[in-house]
A and B are shown apart, each in its own frame.
Chain A
Amino acid sequence: MRRAQIRPAIPERSEDPRVEVALTVNGQPVRRTVSVRMLLSDFLRHELGLTGTHVGCEHGVCGCCTVHIGGKAGRSCLTLAVQANGFEVRTIEDVAGEDGILHPIQQAFKECHALQCGFCTPGMVMNILSRFQEPEPLDLSEDGIRDMLSGNLCRCTGYINIIAAVRRAAELLGRE
């Protein structure tokens, strides 16, 4: 049996069929040519350098990669970049003001100490923001908030402070 040979360098560009994708990200039109199988999460992080969108499980369970697609929260790991063609995508980078002033939801997370390592936070904020933007009345009971957060896993906080932050955010945004 021969020993394994060192293989030549892997090509820098994959040989996958490529497709042109044009969408709006955080208000800016972007156009890239990417592999058909590129996930929206990888598109945001690797093509656009927007690394605020985190990647955890890549099968839709952890919620870290949640962004807004067409104005509603969705999993960027369960969406192909090419599926977002023509859509408006909004990521965590667009939530705070340009001057660095935090969005009330972010402010509430800070005040309530609703994050420790912060890995899940971008997905949490994008999910909560999407719910606050829906015209539907919000259920701000303990159960209602837990249901709201059920698609986002946090392994640090035990959720208590995140629930408090959602209530605080509702106060700050006048949604009681």
Chain B
Amino acid sequence: MITYVRNNYPDIVSDLVQHLWLALIPVALGALLALPIGYLAVRKGRRLYQPIINVGAILYSIPSLALFLMIPVIIGVGYLSPLNVLIGLTLYSMALLTRTVADALVSVEGEATQAAAAMGYRPIAQLVGVELPMAAPVLFAGLRVATVANISLVSVGALVGAGGLGNLFTGGFQLGFIEPIIVGIVLSMLLAALCDVALVLLQRQLTPWTRTGARA
């Protein structure tokens, strides 16, 4: 195993880097897009909640490869482009995070938000200054799930020419060696664990009030 890594170091690293941006950019984009949609789902009358969630659920149930391969028809890029993976994963992240945002906003409704409205906060300011911070734990939990899921899904992109560490899987399979596959699996899981920890640390940084008070 060690010799394999030593011999193929540059390829592994470039796969890793590709994997990272293929996984993380969609999460960020998906989160950004999910915010307004999730907000709409719960703040402009609950009639929109069920349909939006349903669409998200349907989207999320589509297997990744199928999604990656349907996108070229819709946007007209070649089906071997990384754009398919990026767009596909963004759609998945959006589907997942819309539900997270909606549920998070519902969970913070209550005395604090009523107090904020009574104090004269306008809706956007209230959203940014009061509700999102309070909803941070739920939001971050969703972000963590979406990130880990994406990291696993990127490897499927190897079949459409943009797979990050997935290239190690296909390479190993074709040559009949398990070393690349094992390296790929281990790195993928390590990456997932690291991103998870990073998100937890970020959450702690952004929400200092949750660190205290547990001792009460």
Is B a genuine binding partner of A? no
B residues sitting closer than 8 Å to A (CB atoms) are: none
